[in-house]
Amino acid sequence: MNIPTKHLPAEERRAVTVEAVVELAAEQNPGDITTAAIAKRMGLTQGALFRHFPSKDAILQAVMEWVAERLLSRVDKAAQAASSPLAALEAMFMTHIDFVASHPGVPRMLFGELQRAEDTPAKRMARTLVGRYDERLTTLIEAGKAAGELAAELNTAAAATLFIGTIQGLVMQSLLSGDIQHIRTDAPSVFAIYQRGVRS
């Protein structure tokens, strides 16, 4: 990160902090990221960092809010540009894959938060993100059934769960391989199998 951060307005400082955390999460175990490491990445003192965030949990919550806003905005844009509900599902899938490949720290942070026993603000934000994503999928799947593109007997809730689970599986396998970019290569053929299962 080459942005001078010492004299940024508060909102920009918060955004740069989030980006620093996402970058750090791509390089190391997200659970090991300290406020000292975040401040160092930004060229700040911890005191300066805490002027914008009261705690590390507040920083993590801001990261999850950033993820939700960016990801949902991108998948919405991709879906709106598609010619049909099924094409919109494919566009959402590929856009989500591209987001993960471009921000490899995000899934590592998300999985890390979900493993925490306590119900943190960041964990609640992650649940909200999945819920909002599921609503979008449900609407599209129902539209696809109404248009005759998707099987009329298709279980909408199960199809939405499988869509999200398929992406999560691809993410997990790419993280295990040590190369998140594998996800771009594998995604088209994996979506083709999903598509064969849901179309009419």
Contacts 24+ apart (CB under 8 A), 162-166: 162/194, 162/197, 163/89, 163/93, 163/137, 163/194, 164/130, 164/133, 164/134, 164/137, 166/93, 166/190, 166/191, 166/194
Amino acid identity at 184: R
Phi, psi of 114 (to 5 degrees): -70, -20
Q: If you search the block for the tokens 């799947």, which residue do you land on? A: 141
pTM: 0.89
Residue-level pLDDT at 3: 46
Looking at the structure, do residues 37 and 79 belong to the same domain, yes or no? no
Looking at the structure, do residues 49 and 140 belong to the same domain, yes or no? no
| Final residue before a domain boundary, out of 19, 37, 53 | 53
Looking at the structure, do residues 15 and 93 belong to the same domain, yes or no? no
Residue-level pLDDT at 181: 87
Number of domains in the chain: 2
The pLDDT profile of the chain, 200 residues, written as one tens digit per residue, is: 444 555 567 778 888 999 999 999 999 988 899 999 999 999 889 998 988 899 998 998 899 999 999 999 999 999 999 999 999 999 999 999 999 999 999 998 888 888 888 888 888 888 899 999 999 999 999 999 999 999 999 999 999 999 999 999 999 999 888 888 899 999 999 999 999 999 98
